[in-house]
Amino acid sequence: MQMKAALMYGPNDIRVEMTDKPECPKDGLILKIMAVGLCGSDIRNLTTDSRKGNYPFIYGHEIVGCVDEVGPEETKYRVGQRLFLFPGTYCMECDSCISGHSENCENEHVAKLAGTGGFAQYIAVGGEKIRYGGIYEIPDDVTYEAASLGEPLTSVFACLENVKVGYADTLVIIGAGPIGDFMAQIAKIRGAQKVIMIDINAHRLEMAKQFGVDEIIDSSATDPIEAVKKLTGGKGADKVISATPVNATQTQSIHMVRKGGIVVFFGGVPKGSMTELDCNLVHYNNIWIKGHFGASYDQSKRAFRLAIDKDFPSDKFITHILPLDEINKGIGLTRSGEAIKVVLHPFD
Ligand SMILES: [Zn+2]
Ligand SMILES: [Zn+2]
């Protein structure tokens, strides 16, 4: 049997074509993919030599669908069930998992079960992934598109919870991409008083306003450090999150935070690159610097619940729903800032 998929043959060389449909594992299932989100990390992977010559490859990890087939030894799920696949998989047995931080799971074998392969019509889900968890059922009255936001929301949800963004905080977010927009929305839900968004793209900044952003700073036209100081009575913000793939915004971030404040490096920067930091400023101003990646199972579950909540404005985030055939168009729309979140339909 054949299926349609978007195969990556090299940087910027993505072709939608027919390929072999995966076989149903004996102890697993085949999920018919009804929607799959296009993530910033997908775009980074699809436009660079992310597989070091090892092609073709199918990316896509924001996967939702319905069970199409179950293996003879699979007992947990049945055909027709609507599922969300969280791409993180944790062992729940190692020291990190037991301590409540499954995002730091030390079991490499289990981590490798994490899903990619979503830019296709079907995906096989093995018995091990089913046993280790991270698969959540989508209620009947929730759209697949809204449910697909569960994955990109998860890391943002975890980050803001870990650094306790909350009541009365002034928060600076650098990077008005979909992740920055999710951050603004969740920061407001958590009670942040003022959210300041910084970007170099005026259109993105305009769109960010609908997610509770109080102040926007166009750093292509204004010095963002001066601007943040001005908006905070010269003090700096309580918390600053660098949510871009750029080293320069990490460098800037420690100049925008108040004494004793928290800076988070959320966005991944190019592999092997180094960021220059004024470490005396970090030292004398008692600045906390924290990295962020991923989320625990507990946080992923609660973030999924938020994504499928009736009050969560998923429609505002999903600006484009495109057939999988138009994945290249989706990449262009996201890169230019015209789209916030693109969701692809493999069966359109
Ligand atoms: Zn993602
Ligand atoms: Zn573990």
Tens-digit pLDDT profile for residues 80-121: 999 999 999 999 999 999 999 999 999 989 988 877 999 999
Ligand 1 centroid distance, CA of 63 (Å): 9
Phi, psi (rounded to 5 degrees) for 116? -135, 170
Q: For residues 55 and 52, what is the distance between their CA atoms, to the nearest angstrom?
A: 8
Which two structure tokens, joined as six digits, stand for 89? 């998989």
Ligand 1 centroid distance, CA of 326 (Å): 18
Ligand 2 centroid distance, CA of 148 (Å): 25
Ligand 2 centroid distance, CA of 90 (Å): 5
CB 213 within 8 A of CB 197: yes
CB 189 within 8 A of CB 267: no
Mean pLDDT by 10 residues, the chain (348 residues): 97 97 97 96 91 96 98 96 95 95 93 87 96 95 97 97 96 96 97 98 96 98 98 98 96 98 93 95 98 95 97 96 98 94 97
Res 271: pLDDT: 82
Q: For residues 88 and 296, what is the distance between their CA atoms, to the nearest angstrom?
A: 9
Ligand 1 centroid distance, CA of 41 (Å): 6
Ligand 2 centroid distance, CA of 95 (Å): 7
Which ligand is closest in space to the CA of residue 113?
2
Ligand 2 centroid distance, CA of 206 (Å): 41
Tokens 């610097």 belong to 289
Res 114: pLDDT: 72
Tens-digit pLDDT profile for residues 258-302: 999 999 999 888 889 999 999 999 999 999 999 999 999 999 999
Q: DSSP 3-state assignment of 79?
A: coil
DSSP, res 52: T
Res 279: pLDDT: 97
CB 140 within 8 A of CB 81: no
DSSP 224-237: HHHHHHHHTTTS-E
Ligand 2 centroid distance, CA of 323 (Å): 37
CB 136 within 8 A of CB 303: no
Ligand 2 centroid distance, CA of 224 (Å): 40
CB 13 within 8 A of CB 46: no
Ligand 1 centroid distance, CA of 243 (Å): 14
Ligand 1 centroid distance, CA of 183 (Å): 14
Pick the CATH number of 2-153+295-345 from 2.60.300.12, 3.90.180.10, 1.10.540.10, 3.40.50.10490: 3.90.180.10
Beta strands in the chain (DSSP E): 2-10, 13-20, 29-38, 62-70, 82-85, 122-125, 135-137, 170-174, 194-199, 215-218, 237-242, 257-265, 288-291, 318-323, 341-345
- What are the residue ranges of CATH 3.40.50.720 in the chain? 164-291
Structure pTM? 0.94
Q: DSSP 3-state assignment of 124?
A: strand
Res 112: pLDDT: 81
132-169 exposure pattern, b = at least 16 Cβ within 10 A, e = fewer: bbbbbebeeebbbbbbbbbbbbbbbbbbbbbbebbeeb
Ligand 2 centroid distance, CA of 111 (Å): 8
CB 101 within 8 A of CB 296: yes
Ligand 2 centroid distance, CA of 128 (Å): 14
Phi, psi (rounded to 5 degrees) for 339? -100, 150
H-helix or E-strand containing 95? helix 95-98
| CATH architecture entry for 164-291 | 3-Layer(aba) Sandwich (3.40)
From the CA atom positions of the chain, what is the Rg in Å? Answer: 20
Which two structure tokens, joined as six digits, stand for 87? 């791409």
Ligand 2 centroid distance, CA of 63 (Å): 23
Ligand 1 centroid distance, CA of 231 (Å): 32
Ligand 1 centroid distance, CA of 62 (Å): 6
Q: Residues with beta carbon < 5 A to ion ligand 1?
A: 39, 62, 151-152
Ligand 1 centroid distance, CA of 86 (Å): 10
Ligand 1 centroid distance, CA of 199 (Å): 20
- What are the residue ranges of CATH 3.90.180.10 in the chain? 2-153+295-345
Ligand 1 centroid distance, CA of 282 (Å): 31
Ligand 2 centroid distance, CA of 83 (Å): 23
Which two structure tokens, joined as six digits, stand for 234? 């010269």
Which ligand is closest in space to the CA of residue 149?
1
Ligand 2 centroid distance, CA of 107 (Å): 5
Cβ atoms within 10 Å, residue 95: 10
